[in-house]
Structure 1
Amino acid sequence: MSIRVAIVDDHALVRAGLRQYLAEEMDLQVVGEAANGREALDLVRAGGIDVLILDVSMPDQNGVDVLLGVKARAPELPVLILSSYPETHYATAMLKQGASGYLNKDCEPSEILAAVRMLALGRRYISAGVAELLAEQHSSGKGDGPLHEQLSERELQVFLRLAQGETIGAIAESLSLSVKTVSTYRTRVMEKMRLESNSDLTYYALKNGLIQ
């Protein structure tokens, strides 16, 4: 029985390349594609997917929001993050939010095949680079890691949205929270990351490759 794979990436060339590569494997079948977060959630809602390959950078939502939306609708669906960002920027944060694997787009194509097959078996896929990163963080203590990795799920969502220039009111509406609650999350983010303004958040996010 084939492993049914869906590809979410805003670049048509990337989707086409992945589709062609995966189609050459007898045990893999590409059953759907999406170019943005909304289409990704529609795919997941329709079902019939064994593994979802998700790009971190989406034109309408950040990768964390899309991942959380996917996991809310299909908690058991394995998600493989395929990102142009280095592991040090996003890997541990995405794994913490429910991703089953994380690969950089510079990886060997064969590693994508290995990851998809492992996720289809219900296991996580940790590349050598990510494993080394996790080991370093474990041995040195959480406080020595990037500051954004100390944020909770909601705090990370609010942080990324603020960094992209969204107002507190807009964030509250899109996340179905009160303005007061979002303001509280903003305060916590500022304290944990030792920053003072939204422009500081944006600078940090750009410097660390969390937004483009």
Structure 2
Amino acid sequence: MIRIGLVDDHLIVRAGIKQFLCEQVDLRVTAEAANGIEALEMARGGEVDVLVMDLSMPDQGGVDALSAIKARFPDLPVLILSGFPETHYATHLLKLGAAGYLNKDCDPQDIISAIRTVFRGRKYITPAVAELLADGLSGDVEKQPHEQLSEREFQVFLRLAKGETVGAMADAMALSVKTVSTYRSRVLEKLNLSTNSDLTYYALKNGLIQ
């Protein structure tokens, strides 16, 4: 039996996924959470074998939650199930330690296959994500500016775009204010932007935040 933790801030989404998964004899949803903070507590409890997690959630989103969970529980597979297209997040999150990335428009059977795959310790790579990874290796496709960011810079970028202050980020990410400010400067430079408002506009325009 594969014990699954569902992390999504929409109760109806969790209910729908749970009902579908419970029709499988080898899958059981044993825990649910509405944000990244609760997801980390779920991981600490040690009662799940696979986490299926959304990205866009209040309090703490999936990007930060993934980073925190993998730092503490590197062997726990985290499957990202997001409303954002693969092109926006997939390669970044795989580098952060995600076991796989699925768009919520996927065939429900893909979720089942993905859970079984990551439970066995393997990555679940969809054809769309495989193409992105191949393009990144070959350099055939010109990258968007935000794709040039390091994983930590990408985390800082998303937090800034959502309106979080440097001080709040420093506390949440266990970094000094000076370090976060340095990351902010690098992000602005790499994206060729000047202000936090510019970052927010860029993120909205590129579908990186809602």
For normalisation by structure 1, the TM-score amounts to 0.95
Q: How does 1:187-206 map to 2 (within 5 A)?
A: 187-206=185-204
SS of equivalent residue, structure 1 residue 210? coil
Residue 173 of structure 1 corresponds to 171
Q: How does 1:132-143 map to 2 (within 5 A)?
A: 132-140=131-139
Residue 37 of structure 2 corresponds to 38
SS of equivalent residue, structure 1 residue 126? coil
Instruction: Note if contact 2:66-2:97 (Cα within 8 Å) is conserved in structure 1.
Output: yes
Q: Which of 158, 161, 179 in structure 2 is aligned with 1:160?
A: 158
Instruction: Note if contact 1:62-1:160 (Cα within 8 Å) is conserved in structure 2.
Output: no
The offset of 1:40, in angstroms, is 0.8
The offset of 1:199, in angstroms, is 1.2
RMSD: 1.3
Partners in 2 of 1:180 and 1:139 — Cα distance? 36
The offset of 1:141, in angstroms, is 5.6
SS of equivalent residue, structure 2 residue 106? coil
Instruction: Note if contact 2:54-2:62 (Cα within 8 Å) is conserved in structure 1.
Output: yes
* Number of residue-to-residue matches in the alignment: 210
SS of equivalent residue, structure 1 residue 30? strand
Partners in 2 of 1:209 and 1:69 — Cα distance? 24
Amino acid at match of 1:152: S
The offset of 1:165, in angstroms, is 0.9
What is the percentage of aligned positions where both structures have the same residue? 64
The offset of 1:41, in angstroms, is 1.0
Partners in 2 of 1:178 and 1:208 — Cα distance? 29
Residue 66 of structure 1 corresponds to 65
Instruction: Note if contact 1:6-1:32 (Cα within 8 Å) is conserved in structure 2.
Output: yes
CA gap 1:136/1:120 in 2 versus in 1, 3 angstroms = same
Unaligned residue ranges in structure 2 (runs of 5+): none
Residue 13 of structure 2 corresponds to 14
Partners in 2 of 1:204 and 1:188 — Cα distance? 15
Q: How does 1:97-112 map to 2 (within 5 A)?
A: 97-112=96-111
Amino acid at match of 1:40: A
Amino acid at match of 2:63: V
Instruction: Note if contact 1:5-1:32 (Cα within 8 Å) is conserved in structure 2.
Output: yes
Residue 183 of structure 1 corresponds to 181
The offset of 1:168, in angstroms, is 1.2
The offset of 1:72, in angstroms, is 1.8
Residue 93 of structure 2 corresponds to 94
SS of equivalent residue, structure 2 residue 4? strand
Partners in 1 of 2:151 and 2:89 — Cα distance? 13
Instruction: Note if contact 1:3-1:50 (Cα within 8 Å) is conserved in structure 2.
Output: yes
Residue 145 of structure 1 corresponds to 143
Residue 52 of structure 2 corresponds to 53
Partners in 1 of 2:37 and 2:208 — Cα distance? 20
